[in-house]
Amino acid sequence: MDESSPDLQSQQDEDLEGSYSKLPAFRRKQATVSSFVFYVLCSLGLLICVEVIIFSRFLLPLAVGNASYSGDRRSNVSDLINLEPEAPFRTSFHFQPPKNWMNDPNGPMYYKGFYHLFYQYNPWGAVWGNLTWGHAVSEDLLHWLDLEPALKGDQWYDVGGVWSGSVTFRLDGTPIILYTGLAEDLEQTQNMAVPDDASDPFLRKWVKSSENPLLRHPDGVYKEDFRDPSTAWQVEDGSWRITIGTQVETDGMALVYKSRDLLHWELEKNVLYTIPGSGMWECLDFYPVAPTGRRGLDTSTRGPSVNHVLKVSSYNDQHDYYAVGSYNEVTQAFTPVNQELGVLYGLQYDYGKFYASKSFYDPVKKRRILWGWSNESDTEAQDIAKGWASLQVTKLFVQIQASPNIKAYL
């Protein structure tokens, strides 16, 4: 007889009922209680499964996603909804715009209760081109509110793209943007933009200076090799300095410019640092670092015990190199602590997909935060298919360490 036949099943049920009725009363009570407990546990398990599905499908994107902003109200950034929670392979914790291409982080800062991140962004697709300054804000560096691009190429000096740059705070606390513009003939110029309304914590609108371009390539520098102004720092006499990446023939170098008002700049005679034959330097970062501990320093901090970090993004091999050393305000020269480990001689921020990094000083938690662009390894066709490309990697703080073989490293 087949084991699944009705007659066999009825006989098994009768046998089971008979066996149960023969149990002592206390055993039958235990069996009843056990069945009830088993039923409750199964119900709880099902409820938990449902809750997990609901959380992962609906609530998790709400908690960790990016969002777009279209109103004037100061929103709670932590409660915003991910626009594309089902987009494949999007990350939960690294910053990404809702869609399209992104590369270099630009001008990160903290202003009126919000962390700001600007970034190279193509509003028209998931491939490099049409570069603008994308813009997002956050209260905790995790939940982001995506805003309209802060800068677009709409002038002769930046019609080819609004390229990388930095943010500097004036003495009155107002931020300014210094950025590289690409003209139609591919000339790279340095320009300024200021907030239209400095009282707006989101800084949604920026106005370009009527004096742009502030700087054009100096004699001996090719017009296409002059880019990415750093955050400005003040020296002892109150004047400002910036460094800009370039190459002369094949010698990579960091030029230094000085200014009294952050608007009119003059090229210094000496360069900050140079390495013969190292190729084009871009996305320079130059900042002070304390000799010990995790406490970060404002970009203009100086003193006999303060070290400096010079970071160079090497266009030739697409890696970020750095050295720790001393900065001489008189000669404008940077000297690595360990000459054998100068810039481009081995020390990198990261040995993976990490490039065009930019740091900033966080005045709230007294730390220096480092951002870097990760372009992953997808092909252009794959990026187009998924509708986005790249993400930003955050290293929460920068501090000096030491070892028997390396005098100073990060």
Q: What is the pLDDT of residues 13-36, one digit of tens each?
A: 444 444 444 444 544 444 454 455
According to the model, what pLDDT value does residue 358 have? 97
| pLDDT reported for residue 294 | 84
Mean pLDDT score of the chain: 82
Per-residue pLDDT averaged across 272-277, rounded?
Answer: 95
pLDDT in tens, 305-326: 899 999 999 999 999 999 999 9
pLDDT at 166: 98
Which of 214, 226, 206 lies closest to 118, judged by CA?
A: 206
pLDDT at 62: 29
pLDDT attached to residue 293: 84
pLDDT at 14: 46
User: Which residues are the active-site residues?
Assistant: 104
Give 252-255's long-range contacts (Cβ < 8 A, gap of 24+): 252/278, 252/279, 252/280, 252/281, 252/312, 252/314, 252/344, 253/281, 254/281, 254/284, 254/286, 254/310, 254/312, 254/334, 255/218, 255/221
Is 103 within 8 Å of 356 (Cβ atoms)? yes
Q: Using 50, 70 and 90 to split pLDDT, how confident is the model at 73?
A: very low
The amino acid that residue 223 corresponds to is: K
- pTM confidence score: 0.79
Which strand (E) or helix (H) includes residue 178?
Answer: strand 175-182
Q: What is the pLDDT of residue 91?
A: 81
In terms of C-beta density within 10 A (0-12 exposed, 13-18 middle, 19 or more buried), how is residue 54 classed?
exposed
The number of beta carbons lying within 10 Å of the beta carbon of residue 350 is 15
**Is residue 181 pLDDT above 80, yes or no?**
yes
Say yes or no to pLDDT of 74 above 60.
Answer: no
Q: What is the identity of the amino acid at 331?
A: T
Tokens at 168, concatenated: 């500097």
- The predicted pLDDT at position 133 comes to 98
- CA–CA dist 395, 406 (Å, integer): 21
Confidence category of residue 408, pLDDT binned at 50, 70, 90: low
Residue 67 has pLDDT above 50, yes or no: no
pLDDT digits (tens, 9 = 90+) for 318-360: 999 999 999 999 999 999 988 776 777 668 898 889 999 999 9
Residue 84: what pLDDT? Answer: 46
| Collapsed DSSP state (helix, strand, coil) of residue 14 | helix
Residue 351: what pLDDT? 87
Split at pLDDT 50, 70, 90, the class of 71 is very low
